[in-house]
């Protein structure tokens, strides 16, 4: 699979109550086309900042790139002006959030919002085709849309509305299109938001804690849906989550972040069968295991470091039971210990 996204040496600074902090610190990763990547870590580790950086939604004025690049299909998104970034947001890269009500318009029905999203995509594509001198054509690999039949909107748009709702497993499309977001259950709203994001046919979908607010059953359904979307549409997905158990259910590859840096990067099977970083091992020991009923969970001692102070040392050192002298003298680089399995820990390199 070809690489769709290459993040190189990305550092993002925030202004926080008069101080500067590094929310991302020299982050380098690549995402292949049609890959399902999970980015995992505690609150404040930089995983959401990574997603917002890619889609160009960092809060203006209080966050900025201080180094690095984000190459998407060969274009450095980090160097684009806000107006140029609008050509990528939605149509190429979409993002969904934990609480759909923050993204959906509460004053418009689900159907209206879907129609607008589809029309926007069509007009953007038409404009691009006119500029390229090409005839309008469907994207390769996208599913054909069944008939829906609505009088007030163009047939092809109505067909897509039904297809989108059916894709996200909303069975009663005719009822749901006329409802407002607040009239839907949490799971249904999340599905509607996924449909909205997919209506623009993005190549990359970033999902930030999309299941955190849902009950366990609905969470499993939404995760299954995301996996189906990846398989059916070929959408590349980056799932941002604090929950390794969630990542294990859907991801092809998992990146573990700690204090703004990547500490481990591995295929999902390798990460769970052979976790190498002491932080990853700690996260795994916090997951309840069905076969060990009554056994105690082992929380990681200590707390996240203060990111206002950059140190030339392993950030995990104050919490690490394996810490050595070198750990307080240098930042461990990512060592590739097996093919595709990297870890930033001196236990595994130098
Ligand atoms: Fe622990 Fe040292 Fe590895 Fe950091 S580099 S995780 S302190 S052993």
Model pLDDT for residues 186-210, shown as the tens digit of each residue: 888 988 999 988 888 899 999 999 8
DSSP states along 198-258: HTT--SEEEEESTTTTS-HHHHHHHHHHHHHHHHHH--EEEEEES-HHHHHHH-SEEEEEE
Cα–Cα distance, 331 to 225 (Å, whole number) = 39
Cα–Cα distance, 257 to 279 (Å, whole number) = 9
**Nearest Cα to 277, choosing from 335, 204, 199?**
335
The count of C-alpha atoms lying within 13 angstroms of the C-alpha of 71, restricted to the half-sphere facing its C-beta, is 12
Strands 93-96 and 204-208: parallel
Residue 93 pLDDT > 90, yes or no? Answer: yes
Distance 132 CA to ligand 1 centre (A): 53
Query: Whole-model pTM above 0.85?
Result: yes
Beta carbon of 278 within 6 Å of any ligand 1 atom: yes
Model pLDDT for residues 49-64, shown as the tens digit of each residue: 999 999 999 998 899 9
Domain map (residue ranges) of the chain: 1-92+202-298, 104-199
Q: Looking at the CA of residue 321, tell me the nearest atom of ligand 1.
A: 1
Mutate to test the pocket of ligand 1, among 257, 317, 330, 348 (most ligand atoms within 8 A of CB): 317
Give 294's pLDDT tier (boundaries 50, 70, 90). Answer: low
Q: How far apart are the first and last CA of the chain?
A: 31
The pLDDT of 304-327, averaged and rounded, is: 93
> Exposure string (b/e) for 206-226, b if CB count within 10 Å is 16 or more?
bbbbbbebbeeebbebbbebb
**What is the predicted pLDDT for the residue at 27?**
97
Residue 297 pLDDT > 80, yes or no? Answer: no
Mean pLDDT lowest among 49-58, 79-88, 95-104, 257-266: 95-104
The fourth-level CATH superfamily of domain 1-92+202-298 is: P-loop containing nucleotide triphosphate hydrolases (3.40.50.300)
Model pLDDT for residues 153-187, shown as the tens digit of each residue: 777 888 888 888 888 888 888 888 899 999 998 88
What are 12's strand-pairing partners? 24, 65
Rounded to 5 degrees, φ, ψ at 91 are: -75, -30
Beta carbon of 334 within 6 Å of any ligand 1 atom: no
Distance 327 CA to ligand 1 centre (A): 6
Distance 313 CA to ligand 1 centre (A): 9
Q: Write the burial class of residue 239 (CB in 10 Å: 0-12 exposed, 13-18 middle, 19+ buried).
A: buried
Beta carbon of 346 within 6 Å of any ligand 1 atom: yes
Asked if 223 contacts 249 with a C-beta cutoff of 8 angstroms, the reply is yes
């Amino acid at each position: 699979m070809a690489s769709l996204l290459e993040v190189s040496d990305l550092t993002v600074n925030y202004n926080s109550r008069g101080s500067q902090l590094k929310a991302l610190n020299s982050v380098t990763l690549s995402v292949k086309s049609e890959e399902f990547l999970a980015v995992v870590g505690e609150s404040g580790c930089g995983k959401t900042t990574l997603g917002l950086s890619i889609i160009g939604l960092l809060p203006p004025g209080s966050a900025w790139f201080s180094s690095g690049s984000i190459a998407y299909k060969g274009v450095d998104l980090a160097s684009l002006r806000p107006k140029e970034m609008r050509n990528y947001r939605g149509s190429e890269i979409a993002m969904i959030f934990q609480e759909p009500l923050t993204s959906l318009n509460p004053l418009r029905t689900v159907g209206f919002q879907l129609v607008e999203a589809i029309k926007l995509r069509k007009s953007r594509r038409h404009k691009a085709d006119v500029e390229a001198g090409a005839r309008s054509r469907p994207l390769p690999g996208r599913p054909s849309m069944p008939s829906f039949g609505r009088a007030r909107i163009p047939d092809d748009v109505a067909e897509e509305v039904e297809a989108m709702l059916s894709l996200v497993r909303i069975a009663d499309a005719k009822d749901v299109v006329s409802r407002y977001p607040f009239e839907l259950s949490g799971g249904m709203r999340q599905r509607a938001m996924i449909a909205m994001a997919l209506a623009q046919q993005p190549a990359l979908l970033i999902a930030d804690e999309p299941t955190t607010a849902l009950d366990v059953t609905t969470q499993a359904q939404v995760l299954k849906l995301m996996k189906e979307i990846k398989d059916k549409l070929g959408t590349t997905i980056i799932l941002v989550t604090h929950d390794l158990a969630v990542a294990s259910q859907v991801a092809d590859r998992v990146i573990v972040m700690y204090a703004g840096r990547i500490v481990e990067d591995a295929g999902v099977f390798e990460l769970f069968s052979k976790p190498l970083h002491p932080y990853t091992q700690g996260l795994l020991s916090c997951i309840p295991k069905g076969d060990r009923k009554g056994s105690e969970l082992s929380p990681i001692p200590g707390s996240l470091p203060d990111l206002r102070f950059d140190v030339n040392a392993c950030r995990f050192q104050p919490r690490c039971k394996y810490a050595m002298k070198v750990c307080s003298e240098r930042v461990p680089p990512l060592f590739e210990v097996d093919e595709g399995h990297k870890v930033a820990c001196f236990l595994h390199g130098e």
